[in-house]
Structure 1
Amino acid sequence: MDQLIGRRISDRYHIKRLLGSGGMAYVYLGEDMILERLVAIKILQPQFNGDEEFLQRFRRESRAATILGHRNTVNIYDVGEERELHYIVMEYVEGQTVKEMIRLHGPLPLEQAVHMTKQLLEALMQAHSHGIIHRDIKPHNLLSNERGEIKVADFGIARAASASTITQTNTMMGSVHYISPEQARGGVVSARSDIYAAGIVLFEMVTGVIPYDAESAVSIALKHIQEPLPDPAQLRQGLPQSLSNVILKAAAKSPDDRYAGAEEMYEDIRSALSDERRNEHPYFIQEGHANSKEREWSDPQVAEEDTMVAAPAVQEDGQEDVGPETPADRPPEKTKKWPYVVACIVVFSGAAFFYWLLPEMFVVSGTTKVIPDVLPTQTAVWEAAWAGQDQVLQEGAKVWRQVEL
């Protein structure tokens, strides 16, 4: 895409140089010739030009993200198209991504990691309050400027991407390390999916490594669904249990076991480095159960279509962990029915036997009894020959009446 350098888009944005590229777009440094300011211009890669459904979502979601205007989000200034180019004009943040910081310096100082996470959560609070879910929170999308401020990028474009068919390995591999279990299963995404990703990002910031890795995107996604999160306290010496608990709670498998929203996680992490909380008890989730407070959590700002019903937690052996059985959990004892079953077998066996010799009409104590819908109607021609069987039939009739009762 070097041919774009030096070009002017929409007779307003002058493209100066390439800043980077990803699976979906190229990012250029540009200049707004009208407002005389530097901007970042994200131009979609050509292969998306033929996907009209994706382009419609791209325009709609990107324009929706322009309402955020938060200090911790990369503000979107303009969305447009010119001939074959579809682009977003954004705030230019001079600095580096959190991913680059981790690659260069390893685990971040705890105070810095907490400060960055708080800024991320503030951006999520703003977005979720407007019904916007990011869906692709990762350190690659967190930009840090020279003042140490965090800016979250790609609001809106992530939702558009979720509806498109993107097969680029680098795109999937870059995002799948932070994907929530419900996203990995193809389920409905909610604000708590962003909370999960924020927990994984915090895990990487304090440990310097990602919790799940494999050779393929599918294998990594399965690990998010099936494998327990490694204890971050085991990967960083001296990590306070309180901060480890924040990570474990944010990145719980079930959305119901996570924080109710960004506000709750923000309030918890504010005091995570305090001396009073350093040695608190480890956060533990009983598989298949959440306490009453957690079950009452909800996402009031998320549309009904983004509601998630979590799948039951499963142990490693594939069996659901239902906890210790209590008297209230035990099903009521069932009445033994085998005597009635035996009686039925005897009666029907006798009926089948007599069907071949004396169809349907039986003489019992001088009266004729018809058993409806069991034997076809015929004349009792063998009546005299089988008169000695009266007593047997009477006993069978008694058993039959008891079974019917």
Structure 2
Amino acid sequence: MPSPIPVTRLLPRGFGLDLGTLSSPLSRRAGASSSLRVPTATHGKLAQRLWSSAVQWRELHELEPIGCGGFGMVFKGTYFGETVAVKRVRRARNTLASRQSFWAELNAAHLRHDNLVRVIAGRVGTIVMEFAGDVSLQQVIYGAGPLPPELCVRYASDVVCALRHLHAHGVAHLDLKPANVLVSRAGVCKLADFGCSLQLGRDHAACALEIGGTYTHRAPELLRGERVTARADVYSFGVTLWQLLTRDVPYRGERQCVIYAVVAYGLRPQLDRDVFHRSSAGRACAELVSCCWSAEPNLRPSAEQLHSDLQQISLLVF
């Protein structure tokens, strides 16, 4: 039964939700078990045409805020009876940058994978996604106690599976970090937040400096404004894996000092931790992490290679 309370009553002033026809790649099929479907390709002008079908926004109910940040706010609700997350991108002073961030969110909208948060619908400034969980990998890492090493490897494998699928379809995430990985109630990691992502295959050297992302996890070539490749995600994965195993923050100090040291002096998080030396699996992880954050992108493993390496590590005993 539809909620008697209008959706707009549950949103803060200025949320901008339009209950009329909105652009979306999704349609609901009568009688279908899974109502949230998406076309197989969305980019450029084709994306705008595919996102022109009507969305039944009156089916969006019970919205409640669950998080906020520099990007805007995230709400939890239901859409056609399915639990969803609604992301409202904060309107920036630079309208063009705000729109670019929104369209970047759609770079993976046509992809379906168990380790990617599924995009359901959207309009400029608003994204409707599957609700993948309200706990991030960041919260899990720095939670009550240390994680079992085998669980760390399993979480890392989930992230790599997401990267492998993205890269195979020509998408670079470019903001991989524990805070952008959601952990479902079933313990499955799902990569989220594509606001910094890019479609690969074109020369992005001109826009590399404009890419956002978190400096502690950002590859040195991106900090220098050089060409974007999928190996930038591998660098970020190396820092993320280091956090999983050490439960520490990568760097301490002023932002500009850290960035300068990473670019000019090859500063990296410390590998002289007990977890990296007390077992063969730990030593294998240290070697893998070191390869991932190589200063030279071509020396980093691919996501495909990472997947194979983690499978081998999972067979070892910490």
Please give the range of the TM-score, normalised by the shorter of the 2 chains. Answer: 0.7 to 0.9
* 2:243/2:250 contact within 8 Å kept: yes
The alignment partner of 1:96 has SS state of: coil
Pick one of 278, 296, 313 that aligns with 1:238: 278
Which AA in structure 2 matches 1:64? N
* Larger relative contact order (CA 8 Å, sep ≥ 6): 2
Q: Supply the distance in 1 between the matched residues of 2:15 and 2:232 (Cα, whole angstroms).
A: 40
Other-structure match for 2:7: none
The alignment partner of 2:12 has SS state of: helix
Other-structure match for 1:20: 67
The alignment partner of 2:171 has SS state of: coil
Pick one of 207, 210, 235 that aligns with 2:249: 210
Q: Supply the distance in 2 between the matched residues of 1:275 and 1:123 (Cα, whole angstroms).
A: 23
CA separation of 1:203 and 1:267: change in aligned 2, threshold 3 A: same
Other-structure match for 2:161: 122
Q: Deviations over 1:123-153 (max 9, x none)?
A: 1111111111000000000000111100100
Pick one of 263, 266, 275 that aligns with 2:304: 263
Which AA in structure 2 matches 1:10? L
Q: Supply the distance in 2 between the matched residues of 1:16 and 1:187 (Cα, whole angstroms).
A: 41
The unaligned stretches of length 5 or more in structure 2 are 1-9, 21-56, 199-206
Which AA in structure 2 matches 1:248? S
Q: Deviations over 1:371-391 (max 9, x none)?
A: xxxxxxxxxxxxxxxxxxxxx
1:45 aligned onto 2:90 = yes
1:66 aligned onto 2:101 = no
Which AA in structure 1 matches 2:303? A
Structure 1 segment 6-405 matched on structure 2, within 5 A: 9-11=18-20, 12=57, 13-14=60-61, 16-32=63-79, 35-48=80-93, 50-52=94-96, 54-55=98-99, 57-81=100-124, 86-155=125-194, 157-159=195-197, 175-215=214-254, 217-225=255-263, 226-236=265-275, 238-239=278-279, 240-259=282-301, 261-275=302-316
Q: Supply the distance in 2 between the matched residues of 1:46 and 1:210 (Cα, whole angstroms).
A: 30
Which AA in structure 1 matches 2:196? A
* 1:243/1:272 contact within 8 Å kept: yes
Cα drift, residue 221 of structure 1: 1.7
The alignment partner of 1:20 has SS state of: strand
Which AA in structure 2 matches 1:74? V
- For normalisation by structure 1, the TM-score amounts to 0.58
The alignment partner of 2:142 has SS state of: helix
Cα drift, residue 235 of structure 1: 4.6
Which AA in structure 1 matches 2:239? I
Q: Supply the distance in 2 between the matched residues of 1:128 and 1:30 (Cα, whole angstroms).
A: 31
The alignment partner of 1:74 has SS state of: coil
* 1:142/1:152 contact within 8 Å kept: yes
Cα drift, residue 91 of structure 1: 0.7
* 1:31/1:38 contact within 8 Å kept: yes
* 1:233/1:244 contact within 8 Å kept: no
CA separation of 1:21 and 1:275: change in aligned 2, threshold 3 A: closer
* 1:179/1:221 contact within 8 Å kept: no
Q: Supply the distance in 2 between the matched residues of 1:128 and 1:205 (Cα, whole angstroms).
A: 23
Which AA in structure 1 matches 2:304? E
* 2:209/2:222 contact within 8 Å kept: no
* 1:31/1:39 contact within 8 Å kept: yes
Identity of aligned residues (%): 25
Q: Supply the distance in 1 between the matched residues of 2:62 and 2:13 (Cα, whole angstroms).
A: 7
Cα drift, residue 6 of structure 1: 11
RMSD: 2.8
- Determine which structure has more spread, i.e. the larger CA radius of gyration: 1
Q: Supply the distance in 2 between the matched residues of 1:95 and 1:54 (Cα, whole angstroms).
A: 25
Which AA in structure 2 matches 1:208? R
The alignment partner of 1:272 has SS state of: helix
CA separation of 1:110 and 1:78: change in aligned 2, threshold 3 A: same
Q: Supply the distance in 2 between the matched residues of 1:63 and 1:139 (Cα, whole angstroms).
A: 21
Cα drift, residue 230 of structure 1: 4.3
* 1:177/1:210 contact within 8 Å kept: no
The alignment partner of 2:92 has SS state of: helix
Q: Supply the distance in 1 between the matched residues of 2:236 and 2:140 (Cα, whole angstroms).
A: 18
CA separation of 1:75 and 1:187: change in aligned 2, threshold 3 A: same
Cα drift, residue 45 of structure 1: 1.0
Q: How many residues align?
A: 259
Q: Deviations over 1:320-378 (max 9, x none)?
A: xxxxxxxxxxxxxxxxxxxxxxxxxxxxxxxxxxxxxxxxxxxxxxxxxxxxxxxxxxx
Which AA in structure 1 matches 2:107? A
